[in-house]
Amino acid sequence: MNLLNTKIQKILGPGIIFAGAAIGGSHLMSSTTAGARFGFSLVGLILITNLLKYPFLLVGTRFTASTGKSLLEGFKERNSSYLPVFLIVSLITGTLTIAAVSFVSGILLTNIPLFNNFPAMDLSILVLIICGLVLLIGKYRALDKLSKILVSMLTILTLFAVLSLISGNNLNNELISTIYKSDITPWKLSNLSFLIPLMGWMPCPVELCVWPSLWMFSKSKDTEYKVSVKEAEFDFNFGYLLTVITAIFFVTLGAITMYGTGDGMLSGNGVSFAQNLIKLYTASIGEWSKWIIIPASFAAMFSTTLTCLDAYPRSISSIQGLIRGTDLGRMETSLEQRRFQNWMIVHIFASLIALLLAKTGGISVKDFVFGAMTGSFLSAPVFAWMAMDTINSNLIPQRYKYGYFLKGLSWIGFGFLILFSFLFISNSFLGLGVS
């Protein structure tokens, strides 16, 4: 048994960290609001989005496990333009994403008595700095251990809340009927401003396909164990399944406790968002649960902030090494480590500037986070193409290329991303088909 536990510990890592990055704004904000606005009618869209993004997000894990190279190395070898494009887009989306998730973390921190008299923006800055210090001091090992604890905590507590609600007969026939019909239909072009952000971070942005690939090198160095393709994909699939299940949990919480209340989670200001989140749990479990839920919800966003602050600088640092030809960007040398730390500091300052601009501009938590989510969706076709093109190239052994199912799913997913991006741009910026 001890041997089995040791083996599992060596295998599980990047996939759980991936889940820590994914379970955040899309779950706490978008999924609960989907339930509040439309009941269960968007469950199908959430499941389809997760399914259609899966082949793109799996690419990094399979490519690295089968070739021993990072996906970024694959991008460089496949097409000389891929890395510069990835770099430019990541610099923009990375700053916005890190700032957005730290923003939500700070807002949730206002629920803790010790911090409830401090402005949410100041707490967001504090979270950002603490995450930076944890990563600079503890490096990958700290990221690995904290992610496992935080993800497990939130998943268990959310499952408990859902079961409590259902056992309390709060799941009435009217609400169940929203699975196939709803008085307030989401299937209107005017709802794209909500649906696109929902899908943008559901379960996460497509550029995250690179992250597990890079974490695998750090995991291997830390455990002195090289996983097989089967083991690596087990780790990824386990983490991916957690993100999907947790998303449905949050839709259920939002639907049962807030259906018919309009914006639900996102009504009011940032502080009210934090208060609404706590109510999701206390309404189902009891007022006593507040002192468990407050740290659990904060833990989810702290985990997301932590992983994003690690992954974006790690990706950009690796790209820099590959473009310059100085190294492979695997964090195996002191030069790579220093460059990674420098990029982390750059992202911290850039995100701080973004937060301060949001504060001075009076930007709401909804607009700030949904803006980042929308940007992630609109950039998704670019990253999806890179991933799809690389995994089916001659860079990977034939037996590890995508088969008919995953290849077909990739093309359907790519078409899905293109179609909805076109609809959103046409509707929002060109004024076409407004309804």
Structure tokens at 89: 């887009």
Contacts with 235 (C-beta within 8 Å, 6 or more apart), sequence order:
11, 12, 13, 14, 15, 16, 61, 227
Contacts with 435 (C-beta within 8 Å, 6 or more apart), sequence order:
188, 189, 190
CATH of the domain at 31: 1.20.1740.10
What residues make up the domain containing 165? 2-428
Among 232-236, 244-248, 298-302, the range scoring the smallest mean pLDDT is: 298-302
Res 175: pLDDT: 54
| Average pLDDT score over the chain | 82
Decide if 339 is inside a domain: yes
Structure tokens at 418: 């293109």
Decide if 253 is inside a domain: yes
Res 3: pLDDT: 44
Among 41-45, 87-91, 299-303, 312-316, the range scoring the smallest mean pLDDT is: 299-303
Arithmetic mean of pLDDT, 173-199: 71
184 burial via Cβ count (<10 Å: 0-12, 13-18, 19+): middle
Q: What is the tally of structural domains in the chain?
A: 1
Res 172: pLDDT: 56
**Full-model pTM:** 0.87
- Cβ distance 13 to 356 under 8 Å? no
Decide if 435 is inside a domain: no
Decide if 365 is inside a domain: yes
Query: CA-CA distances (angstroms) from residue 346 to 23, 141, 314, 350?
Result: 25, 22, 12, 6
Kindly report, residue by residue over 299-323, the tens digit of the pLDDT.
Answer: 778 888 888 998 899 999 999 999 9
